């Protein structure tokens, strides 16, 4: 058999084996995202209280009945969905489902039609002041600045540039205490606009005590 045909056949066999043995949880993999990115890409961003849940309304899904306390952002389609006060998620962890605690207040930034582990969801009481301010309006002013995940030495070069900032998923200071925002510098040659991490007091304190 021609060696190229043999290698091609071997590749097809390997693909078939991986497809048969792949775990459903593999589909849940998603790149870590900064809260600002979650806000800017979401179809809706709300503050809500979880009232009750049901596993019988929609087979294969857990449906949460929620009280929407505040809507920070929503597309027309998302507003229609939120009007019912129900959010659905797969009822299995292996299918990317999430679990919300009854009675708790959350900030959720989601994409339609369902919630999953790649959505942003966090208890309001566990959010930093910077995160709360960001979701209530701060991030909306920064969506023209892109937060790009980086790893290792990549994070040390050009951390801030004209239309975005680099961010290590392990960087809690940027995640919890800052946002990538447009900043204008006035020079003798005119004004220069570039994105940079906002130097809040809490951000500077975090950097000094990593």
Note the pLDDT tens digit of each residue in 70-126.
999 999 999 999 999 999 999 988 889 999 999 999 999 999 999 999 999 999 999
Domain co-membership, 135 together with 41? yes
Domain co-membership, 164 together with 130? no
Domain co-membership, 82 together with 149? no
Write down the pLDDT at residue 188.
Answer: 66
Whether 121 is covered by a domain: the verdict is: yes
Name the domain boundary from 141, 168, 191. Answer: 141
Domain co-membership, 42 together with 120? yes
Q: Count CA atoms closer than 13 A to 149's CA, side-chain side.
A: 10
Is 180 marked as binding a ligand? Answer: no
Q: Which two tokens stand for residue 207?
A: 């950097």
Domain co-membership, 127 together with 47? yes
Domain co-membership, 88 together with 133? yes
Domain co-membership, 75 together with 122? yes
The mean pLDDT value of the chain amounts to 86
Note the pLDDT tens digit of each residue in 159-172.
778 899 999 998 99
Angle, alpha carbons 91-97-99 (nearest 5°): 85
DSSP helix/strand/coil, 162 = coil
Regarding predicted confidence, which is higher, 1 or 134? 134
Domain co-membership, 88 together with 75? yes
Domain co-membership, 108 together with 63? yes
Domain of residue 177, residue span: 144-208
Domain co-membership, 203 together with 178? yes
Domain co-membership, 46 together with 130? yes
């Amino acid at each position: 058999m021609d060696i190229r045909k043999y290698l091609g056949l071997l590749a097809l066999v390997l693909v078939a084996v991986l497809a048969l043995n792949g775990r459903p949880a593999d589909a849940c993999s998603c790149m870590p995202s900064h809260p600002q990115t979650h806000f800017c890409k979401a179809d809706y961003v709300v503050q809500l209280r979880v009232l009750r849940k049901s596993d019988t309304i929609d087979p294969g899904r857990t449906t949460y009945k929620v009280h929407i306390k505040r809507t920070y952002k929503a597309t027309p389609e998302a507003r229609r969905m939120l009007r019912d006060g129900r959010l659905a998620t797969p009822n299995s962890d292996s299918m990317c489902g999430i679990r919300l605690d009854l009675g708790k207040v959350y900030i959720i930034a989601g994409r339609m039609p369902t919630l999953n582990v790649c959505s942003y969801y966090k208890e309001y009481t566990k959010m930093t002041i910077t995160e709360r301010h960001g979701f209530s309006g701060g991030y909306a002013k920064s969506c023209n600045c892109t937060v790009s995940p980086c790893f290792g030495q990549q994070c040390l070069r050009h951390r801030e540039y004209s239309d975005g900032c680099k961010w290590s998923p392990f960087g809690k200071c940027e995640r919890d205490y800052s946002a990538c925002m447009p900043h204008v510098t006035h020079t003798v040659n005119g004004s220069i606009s570039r994105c940079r991490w906002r130097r809040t007091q809490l951000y500077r304190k975090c950097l000094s005590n990593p």
